A and B are shown apart, each in its own frame.
With several copies, the nearest count.
Chain A
Amino acid sequence: MNIDRDTVLKLYETMVTIRDFETRVKDEFARGRIPGFVHLYAGEEAVATGVCASLKEGDTITSTHRGHGHCIAKGCDVDGMMAEIFGKATGLCKGKGGSMHIADVSKGMLGANGIVGGGPPLACGAALSAKMRGSDNVCICFFGDGAAEQGTFHESLNLAAIWKLPVVFVAENNGFAESTPVSYHCAIENIADRAAGYGIPGASIDGMDVLAVYEAAQEAINRARKGLGPSLLECKTYRYHGHFEGDQQLYKTDELQQKMMAHDAIKNLHETGIQQGLATAQDFDAIDARVQQKIEGAVAFADRSPYPELSELDTDVYIVAVS
């Protein structure tokens, strides 16, 4: 695959944005400024980034409880995201959803989802809709290794297969579902091998290598766009922080943590970019600086934004008749 400079820098910027966003959320949470349950995507940046890089206008994604990275990769506004996570009126969901329900349908981001396994059926629907509306749009369904044991995974893969829906199912296998290792909860080693049960392509790839993800996802996305149906792409990845903030992660060994962090996706791309002469250290530094500013701005925005009015409590439950 030919990767050009623009692609490298774009992938890098997205990954760094996610990393910095999450790192900042972690800090703000520790400072007690973020309420609720927060699940960070740090470590897994290559997956959302590599997959979403091949999406276009009208494409959609479904996400999980660990959704910040998907949002950013799909182009959601980080100011609105941070404000949402702070519970502010200027948040993407007016503060009503929070981290676990952050969404921007106008950007094709169909929502983080607090229900493990909640996404796959929605993804089938978005893909069916794209198909019935005559577009060549696709839907990406992100889900964790733990979600691969939910019934909705199975039903959705079968449905997408028999209807040849333009969905790419992306398993983010980070080795754990909460504190439970995938080797315990899953009867087989590679989730991608379940693709055979639905007669669709399946592939297991290194989810810490953004270029590998980019390449594999592009193939699956193109296939879906052409009307050839769904694929299952398993990205082996790793989360750097706890399942949620507050988790002490004793179920991880230091060896594992060090090994995976040594294989960091951002560092890898940085190195590859320079080695292959596609970008310079200065290019990357400029991005780092820009992103830092952006995240700083997002926190400031969230900070100065007001909380929702109490009148918001029972609005937005129903849409007022459209007809």
Chain B
Amino acid sequence: MAVQMKTKTVTFAEAINEAIRLEMRRNPRVFLMGEDVAGGATLEHLEEDEAWGGVLGVTKGLVQEFGRERIRDTPISESAYIGAAVGAAATGMVPIAELMFCSFIGSCMDSLLNQSSKIRYMFGGKASIPMVVRTIIGGGFRAAAQHAQTLYPIFAHIPGLKVVAASNPADAKGLLTAALRDGNPVIFCEHIALYQIKGEIPEGEYVVPIGKAAVTREGKDVTLVGVSMTARHALAAAEELAKDGIDAEVVDLRTISPLDETTILNSVAKTGRLVVADESNPVCGLATHIAGIVASKGFSSLHAPVGLVTPPHSPVPFSPVLEDAYLPSPEKIVAAARAVCGK
């Protein structure tokens, strides 16, 4: 963007915290609820700045400014409080519900599958559900099969939901702000291994539009598509590929649904080659979805098989050696890119 903005360096977690803070200041209808999002509710001895602020501290400090009505600890009742977010959204509020880990969707799927996503359509457009579900995705923390999943394909499959996953602090701030103004249910996916990553973010109000991918590196030989952590891996892979004389273009999806097919197809039209790197499981996942879209809508530009870099069709293993082998990496993307470039 050409506009000059004052920036500052913060972590991904801080960027999320700031987006919530600014939006809660701007819009009194926004509030946050989830397990321990403030922490230690009703404990008199606990100073507000000692409270957890979420299991990984991402929302720490918000309760001091907004109080416990608007930063609201919940019981471990995901069905009730995420469903309550839907009811609140239908009646004038803009809730942010934290689903601690996306794997816990198992405990509250109905609220997303059959309620928030479908109400507007089922009611003939006469209701809207402006809410955001913040949730942790991704591996690398040895959190194993029930805590390290990357389930956005399931969310993206559901019409009526939007699905977002930033790869850097600035996008995190801008996309979360956009999500809170979107008017639709938005699933905001936060990769656990990104929280401590630092980057520049614009000060003050900052919006990154939902539904627009970013070309984070221009190149002419092959398109590398990634999102969240794999968007970073793709950039690292591109640097490595440059050493081999392969000039990769990198597309950071930022939004998974609605998918910015145009940016992907334009890039493939230029490069003729595609590698998709994704941390979700491979069957009916994001990687084959994108490959399928290109095979359908961009077939004539494709000059080589699409390269797919995903975990295997297995749960996330615990042991560090296995988890490392499980996850996508820059090296795997490099190998896939070389293969599709015939080098």
Contact = CB atoms under 8 A, between A and B. Distances in A.
A98 B318 contact: yes
Contacts of B325: 310, 313
B126 A318 contact: no
Interface string B91-105: 111010000000110
A105 B147 CA distance: 22
A317 B160 contact: yes
A105 B55 contact: no
Interface stretch (A7-15, A121-129, A208-216): A121-129
Contact of B322 (A113, A139, A310): A310
Interface in B110-157: 110-111, 114-115, 119-128, 130, 141-147
B77 A151 contact: yes
Interface in A253-300: 253
Contact of B42 (A91, A126, A132, A184): A184
Contacts of B147: 37, 100, 114
Contacts of A132: 31, 69-70, 88, 93
B75 A318 contact: no
Contacts of A312: 317, 322
Contact of A117 (B42, B89, B93, B107): B107
B176 to A, nearest CB: 14
A162 interface: yes
Contact of A120 (B80, B91, B106, B326): B80
Interface stretch (B33-41, B237-245, B266-274): B33-41
A147 B110 CA distance: 14
Contact of A128 (B87, B106, B183): B87
A186 interface: yes
B296 interface: no
Contact of B35 (A162, A180, A250): A180
B90 A152 contact: no
Contacts of B51: 179, 250-251
Contacts of A60: 91
B76 A159 contact: no
A201 interface: no
Nearest to B160: A317
Contacts of B144: 36, 96-98, 100-101, 114
A20 B41 CA distance: 32
Given A117-B107, A181-B41, A159 B75 contact: yes
B128 A319 contact: yes
Interface string B70-90: 100111110111111111111
Interface in A148-167: 149-152, 155-156, 158-159, 162
B198 to A, nearest CB: 21
B146 A87 contact: no
Nearest to B114: A115
A54 interface: no
Q: Most chain-B Cβ atoms within 10 A of its Cβ — which of A184, A253, A318?
A: A318
A115 B103 contact: yes
Contacts of B300: none
Interface in A65-104: 87-89, 91-98, 100-101, 103-104
Interface residues of B, number: 82
Contacts of A159: 74-75, 77, 80-81, 84
Contacts of A253: 45
Given A116-B76, A124-B80, A177-B75, A316 B322 contact: no
Contact of A133 (B80, B93, B124): B93
B43 interface: yes
Interface stretch (B10-18, B214-222, B227-235, B307-315): B307-315
Contacts of A115: 103-104, 106-107, 110, 114-115, 146
B321 interface: yes
A319 B131 CA distance: 12
Given A125-B87, A180-B39, A180-B41, A98 B111 contact: no
Q: Most chain-B Cβ atoms within 10 A of its Cβ — which of A114, A151, A185?
A: A114
Interface string B59-70: 000000000011
Given A121-B87, A158-B80, A317-B315, A179 B107 contact: no
A133 B51 CA distance: 26
Q: Most chain-A Cβ atoms within 10 A of its Cβ — which of B122, B160, B162, B325?
A: B122
A150 B107 contact: yes
Nearest to B141: A36
Nearest to B258: A318
Contacts of A149: 75-77
A314 B123 CA distance: 13
Given A122-B115, A177-B35, A317-B121, A98 B87 contact: no
A125 B91 contact: yes
Contacts of A113: 115, 146
B37 to A, nearest CB: 10
A224 to B, nearest CB: 15
A97 B183 contact: no
Interface of A: 35-37, 60, 62, 87-89, 91-98, 100-101, 103-106, 110-111, 113-118, 120-130, 132-133, 139, 146-147, 149-152, 155-156, 158-159, 162, 177-181, 183-186, 250-251, 253, 307-308, 310, 312-323
Given A117-B110, A132-B69, A322-B128, 15 more contacts: A93-B318, A96-B144, A104-B126, A110-B87, A111-B123, A113-B146, A156-B84, A159-B84, A177-B75, A180-B73, A186-B75, A250-B46, A308-B322, A317-B120, A317-B121
Task: List the 10 shortest-distance A-B pairs measured between CB atoms, nearest first.
Answer: A121-B83, A125-B87, A98-B318, A94-B124, A316-B125, A114-B146, A155-B80, A125-B84, A36-B142, A87-B319
9 contacts: A36-B143, A36-B318, A111-B122, A122-B84, A124-B83, A127-B87, A185-B75, A307-B321, A322-B182
